[in-house]
Amino acid sequence: MVDRNLQNFYGRLGRIERIHDAGGGFEADGTLGMSYYNARRRPLRRAGLLGPLVLVATTIVVIKASVFATIGAERYEERLAALRAGASVEQVGAYVLQADPLTVAVAGQIRKALY
């Protein structure tokens, strides 16, 4: 047997839970309910692609600079020459790892800090 009152009850309960999950609900006058706290909350910022790309680029520059600072310019260029003579994947690696002015400047700062 189907109890119509029980189905009606669960239907109302489901509607109340959906309204509550969406942020709605009853608030008595003079209380600090969800509407007060939601109004004070900062709006969520959309995460873009620029932040992670900058993080990856910065990480690559710091790793290149630390290797450049520890092994020196001559050995770094020798290793890049060996990469350039390799397969296409190694040539791409050599292109990414080449010593640009930013890498040399950061390596100078790392060298000052280490020695």
Supply 22's token pair.
Answer: 């969406």
| Residue positions counted in the chain | 115
CA-to-CA dists, residue 67 to 9, 21, 48, 76, 80, angstroms = 68, 52, 30, 8, 12
Supply 13's token pair.
Answer: 């309960």
pTM of full prediction above 0.85: no
pLDDT band at 55 (very low <50, low <70, confident <90, very high): very high
Ramachandran bin of 109, using left for φ above 0, alpha for ψ from -120 to 50, beta for the remaining angles? alpha
pLDDT band at 3 (very low <50, low <70, confident <90, very high): confident
CA distance 115 to 97: 24
